[in-house]
Structure 1
Amino acid sequence: MANILLVCLDNQAYGPNIRVLSSLANGGGHRAWMLFFHKPAPTYLRRFPETPGELAGFERLLEELNIGVVGLSVMTHEFDRAVEVSKSARKKGRHVIWGGIHPTVRPGECLEHADAVCIADAEGVFVPYLDALDAGGDRRLPSFVLKDEDPEEVRKSGRIYIERDLDSVPVPDYTVEHCFYGAGDDVRPMTWDDYRRLNTWEGSYYRLLTSRGCMYHCSYCMNNFFWRCYGESSLRRRSPGNCIEELVQAREMMPFIRGVNIQDDSFFMGSDEWLTEFIALYKEKINLPFVCRLIPKYTNRRRLALLADARLIHVEVGLQTGSRRMAHTVYERFQENENFLEVDALLSEYGVTKTYDTLVDNVYETPEDVLATLDVLLELKRPYYIGAYSLTPFPGTEYYDKVVRDGLLGKMADAYNSPLYATNPDQYYTPKTLRRLIEASPYTPNPILRYCGNHWRSNLVKWLAPFLMAWRNYVVGIINWGRNKAPWFLQLALVLAALWGKLRLKRARKSGSLERTAEQPVCDTEGVR
């Protein structure tokens, strides 16, 4: 029997990937514990490593629990921290395994610090690997690359495991009795109060994943890597009943859950039949407010009506850019603005609040491309929220390969040290005034926003933009306070925002100012799983 400590380096204490592995290990004759070293993402000027006290507590934990195996889930911006944690574990003679996104795309780099890396799904081979390690058997199993092996040869040979039956994967292990967390000066046992404190919305919105993969394969996204490696086999979905059973178990264990946060890249990518069955079961057995992510191309009135009736309250949607040139030729993202605006109107009609993600600080953009994004924002039905993220070339993506070929990698946000929020003063940045206008757009009257867009180079607009941004920061600060400290306040804000959106849309249609009524389905779903 192997004793394994699974380590999560994320900025919260969710870690669904290591929680699934914990369920597998504990159900497969081994013993697993979990440790959450929750830290913010690094920046160019500041790192957030584990403290000497936390590393000492980690080493003490290895001894007290008689841990033989340490497993780390690693994203690119967590690489440096994973190296230090692994040093502590290997210094104590422990077997170290790395898994997650970064070891999948950069296995050779990770093998310098681990005894084995997992380069694809692990669910069906994790317990057999622990069995082989415990018995001294052959560990050359699918998805695992050992210290003396060539990762690319393993990948080319087809020694890869892809979990096609997601219903066979156990639900994540959310018990806290065998969880620990980094507390700054030490490692401490986790309680339910700690779990809630370490997560957004005080852990009151349960995170559910019903599928893996995305119908899109945008050049900058890690799904681009998976599409190139595995094609459509990277798209998989659980049955509705299996998803609902997880939620039933979660509510029994965590009575403080007030809603569900569906984490799929696009919850709408499946068939109408799947969605109908899921919603029927959800209303019958769960009936809580929920949020999800969607792609406009796979959204229509019937689907939104179905979800709104089941208490859909908020969606996150990727706009990324309003520039057709950028979307098609650089991002390889074939989404049309007309379709996007139709879905925006539909969401307002059904009282669903909206967060739209945009990409900035792209070395290939021009001011005209950014202004095209602003033009789309001017057409949106309020209220909405904007997330503006620095485009980051992640290893393994086509966009990363492009900036390397063009010698521009040093001009972009660093996936290792400042992902999504660029902080290197020497890199390219979207003109500051234009970025401020994009981020302040939900809180700025359209006539002012339109004037500023048309005259963004003028001294008046350059003077005004910081004040618009300060107002935006004040409003967002209140929203974040509600999200993290007072979920009831956030719920009230969402309800009021939805009512406001409905009233604005009704007035626009009555006055005839709304050209697109979106009465017909936005897009059929033929051929979509």
Structure 2
Amino acid sequence: MNVEIINTWEYQYVGIKKNNLFSPLTAAYLAALLPSDVNVTIRHELVQQVDYEIDVDLVAITFMIGNAPHTYKIADRFRKRGTPVILGGFHATFLPEEALRHADAVVVGEAEYVFPEIIKDLKRNSLKRIYKATKLHSLKGLPVPRYDLIEKDFILNHPVQATRGCPYRCSFCSVTSLYPSLRVRPVDEVMRDITCFEGRNYLQNKMVMFMDNNIIVNNKYAKELFKKMKPLKKWWLSQVSINMTNDKELMRLAADSGCRGVIVGLETFSQENLKNIGKRQNKISEYKNAIKTFHEYGIYVMASIVIGFDSDTKESIHRIPNIIQELGVDYPYLFILTPLYGTELFNQMDREGRIITKDWSRYNCYNAVFRPKNMSVDDIHSSYLEIWKEMHSFPKAINRVVSNLPSPMFPSILWRLLDNGYLFFQNLTGKYPLVGVNGSENSNTVEPVC
């Protein structure tokens, strides 16, 4: 039996049709769940186009909400050829009836318990319409991801997961809707996934990308993992919460184990906004010292910033580029607030009548899909581009590189130079985010089942 697993993606920047820096984990992990007698291939649209002529018995597609219409077109085309299609992921879990219009079967929830069952049913020609995980997996005894199947196009191709879920309840986040509790994998099994990998070059063997939503939330577990990792002399990146810096032992162990970069969700510079979305672990007054602490340990700080919250105004969001410089952020990400289906924020805005479209292709963090309180939708879109271009202008980019020198650890300084240089070049050549449009296919709409 031949199975192809596809992770769909639509480009969201003008003139950029690939995103090959980090490989996702999902497809390689799903491949590992299949029996040994199944011949499996994986395909990431981040780096490869879909091959509709491939000879397979099943196509399994995992996707996010912003890729839903695009994914449905892919699924419809395979089914038209007579190839069975299974859909899964966050959006399929939250709207299975919608997904079923374009699939032979839909996975609702986690795949660990149901994916092997799907293969058995397919062999018997008796696929069910819905495969629903009736319980959460303990995360013990998970197989090693099929790293050997990840495309060579990716620069870094060693994703690892140590924990799943998050105990915080931020209203805009879909993670807790699907994973309502924090679970941790056995440290020895995480170490196995780290050490068994063989890359094609020094950088691939050196770098590990943890795909956790917040790897340090369970401090005791994180410290045990970092102690075990220290002898490996790896470099690693992960998402963490900004309050990580309150625990100096945790910081020391993370740095000693090879932490060279973190992604933190600063989100906003309004404490009222943080309160409204339930992100109480963030304290704006502590941002600057926290970033300074990361730098003292040689850790590169990537920070996500979101515009469109209820307390935001045009004036307040246009101060963002200067605030980022004052805080010492190494590399800023800018997004438009997106109430993803299945989240508390979506439900709230839907009740208030503020959702203006259910064209899921616009739910990609670059479109305002709701009515803001203090701005118009056009204000959000135009302000986003103005802020993005200012953040990645030459003065701002060079300031981020120079002002945070010297960094006590390599490769933080190199990343700072490369990342900011890259975005400055994108800005210079007009390759900016596709704001206010629904990805690459303006005709992509789907009648939602809500």
Interval containing the TM-score (normalised by the shorter chain) = 0.7 to 0.9
- Whether the 8 Å contact between 1:323 and 1:370 is mirrored in structure 2 is no
**Residue 172 (structure 1) aligns with:** 145
Deviations 1:191-214 (A, max 9, x none): xxxx23xx3xx22x6222111111
**Residue 164 (structure 2) aligns with:** 212
Is 2:214 aligned against 1:266? Answer: yes
**Residue 434 (structure 2) aligns with:** none
**Residue 257 (structure 2) aligns with:** 310
- Whether the 8 Å contact between 1:320 and 1:359 is mirrored in structure 2 is yes
**Residue 43 (structure 1) aligns with:** none
The alpha-carbon deviation at position 278 of structure 1 amounts to 1.4
Would you say how many aligned residue pairs link Structure 1 and Structure 2?
393
Q: TM-score, normalised by structure 2?
A: 0.76
**Match of 1:167, as an amino acid?**
K
The alpha-carbon deviation at position 173 of structure 1 amounts to 0.7
- The 3-state SS of whatever aligns with 1:269 is coil
Partner Cα separation in structure 1 for residue 96 and residue 187 of structure 2: 34
Is 2:365 aligned against 1:420? Answer: yes
- 5+ residue gaps, structure 1: 40-49, 147-158, 180-189, 441-465, 480-488, 498-529
**Residue 307 (structure 2) aligns with:** 360
Is 2:235 aligned against 1:289? Answer: yes
Q: TM-score, normalised by structure 1?
A: 0.66
**Match of 1:145, as an amino acid?**
I
Partner Cα separation in structure 2 for residue 226 and residue 423 of structure 1: 24
Partner Cα separation in structure 2 for residue 216 and residue 429 of structure 1: 31
The alpha-carbon deviation at position 294 of structure 1 amounts to 1.1
The alpha-carbon deviation at position 171 of structure 1 amounts to 1.6
Equivalent residues in 2 for 1:40-439, closer than 5 Å: 58-62=51-55, 67-136=56-125, 139=127, 145=130, 160-176=133-149, 195-196=152-153, 199=154, 202-203=155-156, 206-226=158-178, 231-232=180-181, 235-251=182-198, 256-257=203-204, 258-272=206-220, 274-284=221-231, 286-299=232-245, 300-329=247-276, 331-334=277-280, 335-362=282-309, 365-367=312-314, 370=317, 377=324, 380=327, 382=328, 384-410=330-356, 415-417=360-362, 419-422=364-367, 427-430=377-380, 436=386
The structure with the larger Rg is: 1
Is 2:30 aligned against 1:21? Answer: yes
**Residue 514 (structure 1) aligns with:** none
Deviations 1:299-342 (A, max 9, x none): 4111101111222222111110121211112x121122234344
Partner Cα separation in structure 2 for residue 490 and residue 349 of structure 1: 14
Partner Cα separation in structure 2 for residue 496 and residue 95 of structure 1: 46
- The 3-state SS of whatever aligns with 2:260 is strand
**Match of 2:169, as an amino acid?**
H
Is 2:9 aligned against 1:36? Answer: no
Q: CA RMSD in A?
A: 3.5
- Whether the 8 Å contact between 1:323 and 1:372 is mirrored in structure 2 is no
Distance 1:383 1:216, change over 3 A: closer
The alpha-carbon deviation at position 403 of structure 1 amounts to 2.3
The alpha-carbon deviation at position 391 of structure 1 amounts to 0.9
The alpha-carbon deviation at position 435 of structure 1 amounts to 7.6
- Whether the 8 Å contact between 2:70 and 2:361 is mirrored in structure 1 is no
Partner Cα separation in structure 2 for residue 317 and residue 478 of structure 1: 19
The alpha-carbon deviation at position 120 of structure 1 amounts to 0.5
- The 3-state SS of whatever aligns with 2:377 is coil
Distance 1:428 1:407, change over 3 A: farther
- Whether the 8 Å contact between 1:224 and 1:398 is mirrored in structure 2 is no
The alpha-carbon deviation at position 98 of structure 1 amounts to 0.3
Partner Cα separation in structure 2 for residue 97 and residue 476 of structure 1: 48
Distance 1:280 1:427, change over 3 A: same
- The 3-state SS of whatever aligns with 1:221 is coil
Deviations 1:325-360 (A, max 9, x none): 11112x121122234344223212222221111101
Partner Cα separation in structure 1 for residue 380 and residue 368 of structure 2: 13
- The 3-state SS of whatever aligns with 2:26 is helix
Partner Cα separation in structure 1 for residue 197 and residue 32 of structure 2: 14
Partner Cα separation in structure 1 for residue 284 and residue 400 of structure 2: 30
Partner Cα separation in structure 1 for residue 199 and residue 301 of structure 2: 30
- Whether the 8 Å contact between 1:322 and 1:374 is mirrored in structure 2 is no
Partner Cα separation in structure 1 for residue 392 and residue 59 of structure 2: 45
The alpha-carbon deviation at position 252 of structure 1 amounts to 6.3
Percent identity over paired residues: 19
Partner Cα separation in structure 2 for residue 435 and residue 302 of structure 1: 40
**Match of 1:260, as an amino acid?**
V
Deviations 1:115-162 (A, max 9, x none): 11011011122112211221245x55xxx717xxxxxxxxxxxx5344
- 5+ residue gaps, structure 2: 10-17, 370-374, 403-409, 419-450
**Residue 470 (structure 1) aligns with:** 393
- The 3-state SS of whatever aligns with 1:32 is strand
Partner Cα separation in structure 1 for residue 43 and residue 113 of structure 2: 23
**Match of 1:19, as an amino acid?**
A
Partner Cα separation in structure 2 for residue 474 and residue 371 of structure 1: 17
Equivalent residues in 2 for 1:495-510, closer than 5 Å: none
